[in-house]
Chain A
Amino acid sequence: MTKEKIIYQGAEAKICKSKYMDFDVVKKRRIKKSYRIREIDNRLIFYRTKEESKLMTEARKFGVSVPIIFDVDTKNGIITMEFLVGKRIKDILNDLSEKERIRICKMIGESIAKLHNNNIIHGDITTSNMIYQDDRIHFIDFGLGEKNGEIEAKGVDLHVLMEAIESTHSRYSNCFDYVLEGYKNKLKNDGNLVIKKIAEIVKRGRYR
């Protein structure tokens, strides 16, 4: 039994560092929540573990960087995946030079476009869920994701990121414009349709 060390405790999972054969891996264990009834808890843990591993595998196939998956255990809600040594975008974005920040934001947008070109909705695109390593943006945490080709779903997906940037990187909220620039460049269909949808979603919110 390899010794496991919790390196991060998120809202729904514990991230433990471990070994799988000779590889450094992390095990993402979804935690049972005693505040919700068993029926809901089992449904969410099973479904999210399954969807997450499926979407990560697909994303990788379409050229978006994600950690390599070694093992999936849907019964216990554990995904074993490659350990990334990079930094979270959340932790570095505010400290980058203007030029570098713009470049990174465009890269983020391009990656999201690649996901959306293949109808992969991430479901929780925040700067905490992107890791910068080897000059690539790695996406993690697809647990709220789904396969969906609708413009609405793509708009909501980007709207989550817009809100995350506004709340966490409020001094650099123009970052989102550069994300959209990269997004439009790589999106196969007309990116303006999705961008128009985002504006509609914002207005749908209360007091907008």
Chain B
Amino acid sequence: MLCLGIEATAHTVGIGIVEQNNGKCNVLSNVLKIYRPEQGGIHPREAANHHTIYIADLIKESINVANVSFSEIDLISFSKGPGLGPCLRTGATAARALSLTLDKPLIGVNHCVAHLEIGRGTLNDCNDPVLLYTSGANTQVIAFAEGRYRVFGETLDIGIGNCLDKFGRTVGLDFPCGPAIEKLAVNGKKYLDLPYTIKGMDIAFSGLLTAAEQYYRANKSLEDICYSIQETTFAALTEVTERAMAHTEKDEVLLGGGVAANKKLREMVQIMAKERGASFFVPSKDLCIDNGAMIAWLGVLMYNSGIRLKVENSFIDQRFRTDMVDVTWRD
């Protein structure tokens, strides 16, 4: 089965084509364009306009890269949510148009669940992981329990990527600020005390952000501040992930989301996994960030488990939570 997936929840518009091969996911193409605001944070309408400009060409490009024809596509999948309304609607509109034109079934999927499933689908021996999902908007610790992907821990205020971006903007770094902060942090030497906020398995970053900005205004070395931000936030993320693993008694950990590209975060979670005898997994970078292939893959899993969606019911849902999805494709 060939499925074309459309991702458009926030900055990224992405198209991916995947096929199912012995129960695993084979990515045939995965192309994307990222909207970069000239200044400030994301503007939903501007982002949606950006997606509208590129989406048709990206669809053609995905077909060419995969070396298939439109008539071979069996299923169209799109990000139903969570995300920004205007962006989601752009992706959904393209998906409906394709579905009706090609006369192929349509399916709407949860973006966060797709981040987890692409790990299980593309990595060997990754079967029942705890996912640490870290991106601009999202910071969640997710695992399968009692028929659903449950959120065991999540941010109580802002996502970790958003925290890094906000700090980066204050000190004049370009979006996305995570990579720039990672570079600066390498040369940091002195640890500056920052709030370390964990409530059970939940986590919060806004206090730390304020404290870090105060250090900057007090003319502390930017390298030291970046180093301290990374060490503190990533330690807290690693700790809540480990707590969720102990709580759910699972011995696999998976990373996902844009911040999973950060080497320091990978290293810390990997050490944690090793020390508790667990397996560590991280998908390739193009499958960690927002992308169409993961949307296509979750579409395949859902369709094969019997889920059907009519075009007239193909609404988007900006607040589509991870734990609202009935996981019909797993025991």
Contacts and interface: CB of A to CB of B under 8 A. Distances in A.
Contact of B320 (A124, A160, A170, A207): A207
Interface in B164-216: 191, 193, 196, 198-202
A155 B246 CA distance: 25
Interface of A: 9-12, 33-37, 39-40, 43-44, 123-126, 128, 144, 156-157, 159-160, 163-164, 166-168, 170-171, 201, 204-208
A159 to B, nearest CB: 8
Given A9-B276, A204-B156, A206-B137, A124 B235 contact: no
A38 to B, nearest CB: 9
B146 A123 contact: no
Given A168-B145, A207-B81, 13 more contacts: A11-B247, A33-B239, A35-B235, A35-B272, A37-B235, A40-B235, A43-B196, A124-B199, A126-B247, A159-B199, A167-B145, A206-B159, A207-B321
Contacts of B246: 9-11
Interface of B: 81-82, 137-138, 145-146, 148, 150-152, 154-157, 159, 191, 193, 196, 198-202, 231-232, 235, 238-239, 242-243, 245-247, 267-269, 271-272, 275-276, 318-321, 323
A175 to B, nearest CB: 14
The 7 closest A-B pairs by CB, nearest first: A160-B200, A36-B235, A207-B319, A35-B268, A167-B150, A35-B271, A11-B246
Contacts of A206: 82, 137-138, 154-155, 159
A205 B319 CA distance: 11
Contact of B268 (A12, A36, A168, A170): A36
A142 to B, nearest CB: 12
Given A11-B243, A40-B232, A34 B200 contact: no
B200 A36 contact: no
Given A35-B268, A167-B152, A170-B146, A156 B243 contact: no
B261 to A, nearest CB: 18
A163 B200 contact: yes
29 contacts: A11-B239, A33-B275, A34-B271, A34-B275, A35-B235, A35-B267, A35-B272, A36-B235, A36-B238, A37-B231, A40-B191, A40-B196, A40-B231, A40-B235, A123-B200, A124-B200, A156-B156, A160-B199, A163-B152, A163-B201, A163-B202, A170-B145, A170-B146, A206-B82, A206-B138, A207-B81, A207-B82, A207-B320, A207-B321
Contacts of B320: 207
A156 B320 CA distance: 23
A1 to B, nearest CB: 25
Contact of B146 (A126, A128, A159, A171): A171
Nearest to B151: A167
A106 to B, nearest CB: 22
B150 to A, nearest CB: 4
Nearest to B319: A207
A39 B239 CA distance: 15
